[in-house]
A and B are shown apart, each in its own frame.
Chain A
Amino acid sequence: ETGVTQTPRHLVMGMTNKKSLKCEQHLGHNAMYWYKQSAKKPLELMFVYSLEERVENNSVPSRFSPECPNSSHLFLHLHTLQPEDSALYLCASSPGTTEKLFFGSGTQLSVL
């Protein structure tokens, strides 16, 4: 509906697993983002890509590794996560980095 598609919608993983979250935008935007949304906390910006170049990385642990192969696709590779990493991970895109964001529906991640 928003032009930003995230898969999977739900993910359960153990602390030793490796998984990847995928995001695709069909809006022709130049910027893409990963946000983390935990209960009772504001949206936390994790990574920003502009024209496939990472422009912001907000002190995110190295167990989260983003990848932006082109301006329409964004991945978040996960490995050796902790239970406190359980959250809703939202992808967003925007025409430029100072414009309004369009969000996907998110991946609800549970780390056991």
Chain B
Amino acid sequence: GESVGLHLPTLSVQEGDNSIINCAYSNSASDYFIWYKQESGKGPQFIIDIRSNMDKRQGQRVTVLLNKTVKHLSLQIAATQPGDSAVYFCAEISGYSTLTFGKGTMLLVSP
């Protein structure tokens, strides 16, 4: 069936580096994508979203890129900080379906 998955289970970076977290999706009908951050002991927190009519969207220190040709989504975090350490999930919606989540990538930021 259709699925959303992440390429890397764990990403380790140094403080100040830029981080890139990737996500592949298989449903070509997906038209809305969301990135969530989940810190230990908390629920997932919305970071940024993008619709399929866009290929890039920027927020505060974060950028989401969407490549519909290869069905790939990425989250870029600029100047990564220790507080960015968390699990990051991508999620997608197609049509009238509810959100489908990927497995998550653990981001570890060392000082």
Q: Which A residues lie at the B interface, using CB under 8 A?
A: 2, 4, 6, 33, 40-43, 45, 48, 56, 90, 92, 97-98, 100-106
Contact = CB atoms under 8 A, between A and B. Distances in A.
Nearest to B96: A98
A90 B43 contact: yes
Contacts of A6: 43
A interface, over-half SS: loop
A4 B42 CA distance: 12
B32 A102 contact: no
Interface in B89-107: 89, 93, 95-99, 101-104
Given A42-B104, A43-B89, A101 B45 contact: no
7 contacts: A4-B43, A42-B102, A98-B97, A100-B34, A100-B46, A105-B41, A105-B43
A102 B46 contact: yes
Given A90-B43, A98-B32, A42 B103 contact: yes
Interface residues of B, number: 21
Interface in B56-111: 89, 93, 95-99, 101-104
Interface of B: 32, 34, 36, 41-46, 49, 89, 93, 95-99, 101-104
Contacts of B45: 2, 103
Contacts of B97: 98
A42 B45 CA distance: 15
Contact of A100 (B49, B89, B104): B49
